Structure 1
Amino acid sequence: MANKIVVYSPGRANLIGEHTDYNDGYILPFAIKKYVKIEIESSERFKIFSKQVKKGIEFEAPLKTNSWADYVIGMIVKLREHGYKVEPFNMILDSELPMGAGLSSSAALEVGVGYAISQLMGYEIEREELAKIAHECEVDFVGVRCGIMDQYAVALSKEDHALFIDTMTREYKYVPLYLDSAKLYLINSGIKHELGNSEYNRRRHECELALESMKKSSFRDVTMDDVDRLSDPVLRKRALHVITENERVLKTLSALESDNLLLVGRYLYESHESLRDNYEVSCEEIDFLIEELRKYPDVLGARIVGAGFGGSVIVLARDNFEEIFKKVAEMYTMKYGITPSLMNVETSSGVFRVDSI
């Protein structure tokens, strides 16, 4: 067995296709060069230490703690359920992914932990299977009923590409993400409203109720006529977001293939409007940022990214965006007393191991 192993697991951004991954929809995420670093070595007992929360935990049996450690403990449980050997280890976690920014730090942790354990124990797990096990950890063990997007993006991404995934069939393909004169940026709003998880699960439930009311088993069978016939206005809005967002993903795919970045930007704005008005997962602070960004012609498009209720905004803009950001950030800080931060987005490959120095 190896002595000490170091694994880097990337965060993810999502170009478009928000809240469609648990609704049999289409998504277009990619991994980013911001990582959770995981160091692992064999030990007599399980020991996990997080440099972010400055806390550690030791145990012999992997039991739920209702804390950050559950992302690691859940992976031990799920790997064993799938027949993989997991012997005690000492693990140190370090992350440059901001918590609550909508960049999927939890999936980066789950996939990274699973990959690190497999490397330490000396076996290979197919990346798709690793993503599925990590997804089970999040849903069954941690208790967030998320779709597959985050875990797939962290496990399977390829540099300079987005990952087009059909979440109904789990089929995926790589889409070149060469943006010529434009770049992608992420603005961390510095806001994370606490209702995130409970509202997220509520949205899932509302989508299920909408399908039930339309007598459909999947949103892929739903037409605009079906949506129009929904009598409940809330369910109608939720269903409207899902089917129009799926259309936007397919249109964005075509626009990328023909290098039409103006169209890509328009679809980002349209996606945000639907997330704000139909899915109702935005918030005042994020809406303010996007309305300000819209005033600048060099900003081609922007939308809230992630589960919602705060987090980050993904922006497609021309090269001089840093200057625009300074102006918008100043207004935002004056209004809300919060300093947003800007991240220049670089695409990454999926989870990988480096040789310890």
Structure 2
Amino acid sequence: MGDNKIVIYSPGRANLIGEHTDYNDGFVLPFAIKRYIKIEIEPSKRFKVFSQQLKKGIEFDTPTKTNSWADYVIGMIVKLQEHGYRVEPFTMHVDSDLPMGAGLSSSAALEVGAGYAISQMMGYEINREELAKIAHECEVEFVGVRCGIMDQYTVALSKEDHALFIDTMTREYKYVPLRLDDTKLYLINSGVKHELGSSEYNKRRHECELSLQAMGKSSFREVTLEDVEKIQDPVLKKRALHVVTENARVLKTLTALEDDNLVLVGKYLYESHYSLKDNYEVSCEEIDFLIEKLREYSNVLGARIVGAGFGGSIIVLAKGNFESIFEKVAASYRVKFGISPTLLNVETSNGVHRVL
């Protein structure tokens, strides 16, 4: 890499609460974390994209789909061009300390980071909201994952020491101070990722659409608990129940944060988990085991599964020395499942930014 090299840090994200609501016109409360995809970019004769993790790269003249990790970058080239932005060939090196498959949204970090890096290299400014929307188009239309906008918005727009409250229907957002004092947020990576993940994710989306049809509604924002009660199909009823109660929990969490009532925030995290387990059915035996073990300690204010589900990570809100609690929980988890979970101390971060 030469003197023209630009270096970008694009953060992962954790979601405090509001799970599986972002594609249902719901509310979410995520924040960016100090774990990054590092992108180095400089002009070159051909497009070259190299991954430090995978120790492999790809070269091309014309951006076309490859059905590989590189599509998150290639899709951004295509989408930026569609939006009228000029993109000239570059060499890009991608490195990361974001654990893959832990539900920390490495894909959105790569999309937003690549788009931001290209704009910096080409010397034009893209409004952050527009950058997030282009990255979302890349994921949905180019990569082919029908996700909501939460991840891209969080990576592009986050502010340190704040969560980002997003109304995914109107796409309005506001910054919510996270005053945690002696309380900290952690992520526990369960070390399991069940293959069900992606197929079940699309299935849940479809079930939510069917439950709306059953209630004669076009959006969950029009749905009350009384409407949910009228659904005949027990599975569809449970899916709708999760979305409606989870939206309410996000709003209650917002109020609790404004009142600095972290005990209440913790309570809502547990409630969210049990709804994801029983109503949305996206948890798994390993995650449930961890949650039940964590509940035995009064220092742990709350915890829940995060991300698409079927493994991945748990977010934990805890006081005092959580590391020693984690060691005990991890020991019993290893005995039962033969897997070592890992602990990530979570610090909030700014959104995508240039460091060089």
- Secondary structure class of the residue paired with 1:348: coil
The aligned residue for residue 221 of structure 1 is: 222
Report the Cα distance in structure 2 between the residues aligned to 1:283 and 1:184, rounded to whole angstroms: 22
- Secondary structure class of the residue paired with 1:347: coil
Report matched runs for 1:294-305 at 5 Å.
Answer: 294-305=295-306
The aligned residue for residue 122 of structure 2 is: 121
The aligned residue for residue 44 of structure 1 is: 45
Report the Cα distance in structure 2 between the residues aligned to 1:33 and 1:155, rounded to whole angstroms: 14
Report the Cα distance in structure 2 between the residues aligned to 1:122 and 1:181, rounded to whole angstroms: 43
* Amino acid in the other structure paired with 1:166: D
The aligned residue for residue 157 of structure 1 is: 158
- Measured after TM superposition, the shift of residue 195 of structure 1 is 1.6
- Cα offsets for 1:312-333 (capped at 9, x unmatched): 1000000210000000001111
- Secondary structure class of the residue paired with 2:81: helix
Report the Cα distance in structure 2 between the residues aligned to 1:319 and 1:42, rounded to whole angstroms: 49
The aligned residue for residue 279 of structure 1 is: 280
* Amino acid in the other structure paired with 2:345: N
- Secondary structure class of the residue paired with 1:250: helix
The aligned residue for residue 202 of structure 1 is: 203
Q: Does 1:102 align with 2:116?
A: no
- Secondary structure class of the residue paired with 2:288: helix
- Measured after TM superposition, the shift of residue 189 of structure 1 is 0.7
Report the Cα distance in structure 2 between the residues aligned to 1:332 and 1:144, rounded to whole angstroms: 32
Report the Cα distance in structure 1 between the residues aligned to 2:107 and 2:320, rounded to whole angstroms: 31
* Amino acid in the other structure paired with 2:314: V
Q: Does 1:332 align with 2:333?
A: yes
- Measured after TM superposition, the shift of residue 106 of structure 1 is 0.4
Report matched runs for 1:116-195 at 5 Å.
Answer: 116-195=117-196
The aligned residue for residue 248 of structure 1 is: 249
Q: Does 1:292 align with 2:303?
A: no
Q: Does 1:22 align with 2:23?
A: yes
- Measured after TM superposition, the shift of residue 180 of structure 1 is 1.6
Report the Cα distance in structure 2 between the residues aligned to 1:233 and 1:99, rounded to whole angstroms: 35
- Secondary structure class of the residue paired with 1:276: helix
Report matched runs for 1:55-66 at 5 Å.
Answer: 55-66=56-67
Output the TM-score relative to the length of structure 2.
Answer: 0.99
- Measured after TM superposition, the shift of residue 51 of structure 1 is 0.8
* Amino acid in the other structure paired with 1:340: P
* Amino acid in the other structure paired with 1:61: T
* Amino acid in the other structure paired with 2:243: V
Report the Cα distance in structure 1 between the residues aligned to 2:203 and 2:97, rounded to whole angstroms: 30
* Amino acid in the other structure paired with 2:230: R
- Secondary structure class of the residue paired with 1:203: helix
- Secondary structure class of the residue paired with 1:24: coil
Report matched runs for 1:312-331 at 5 Å.
Answer: 312-331=313-332
The aligned residue for residue 13 of structure 2 is: 12
* Amino acid in the other structure paired with 1:31: A
Report the Cα distance in structure 2 between the residues aligned to 1:285 and 1:79, rounded to whole angstroms: 41
- Measured after TM superposition, the shift of residue 341 of structure 1 is 0.6
- Measured after TM superposition, the shift of residue 103 of structure 1 is 0.4
- Measured after TM superposition, the shift of residue 181 of structure 1 is 1.9
Report the Cα distance in structure 2 between the residues aligned to 1:195 and 1:92, rounded to whole angstroms: 31
Moved over 4 A (4+): none
Report the Cα distance in structure 2 between the residues aligned to 1:292 and 1:348, rounded to whole angstroms: 29
- Measured after TM superposition, the shift of residue 334 of structure 1 is 1.1
Root-mean-square deviation over aligned CA pairs: 1.0
* Amino acid in the other structure paired with 1:175: V
- Measured after TM superposition, the shift of residue 83 of structure 1 is 0.6
- Cα offsets for 1:90-149 (capped at 9, x unmatched): 000001001100000000000000000000001000000000000011111111100000
Report the Cα distance in structure 1 between the residues aligned to 2:145 and 2:265, rounded to whole angstroms: 30
- Measured after TM superposition, the shift of residue 176 of structure 1 is 0.3
Unmatched 5+ stretches in structure 1: none
- Measured after TM superposition, the shift of residue 248 of structure 1 is 0.2
- Secondary structure class of the residue paired with 1:87: coil
- Measured after TM superposition, the shift of residue 288 of structure 1 is 0.5
Number of aligned residue pairs:
355
- Measured after TM superposition, the shift of residue 213 of structure 1 is 1.2
Q: Between the two proteins, what is the percent identity of the paired residues?
A: 80
* Amino acid in the other structure paired with 1:59: F
* Amino acid in the other structure paired with 1:110: E
Report the Cα distance in structure 1 between the residues aligned to 2:55 and 2:281, rounded to whole angstroms: 35
Report the Cα distance in structure 1 between the residues aligned to 2:269 and 2:287, rounded to whole angstroms: 14
- Secondary structure class of the residue paired with 2:173: strand
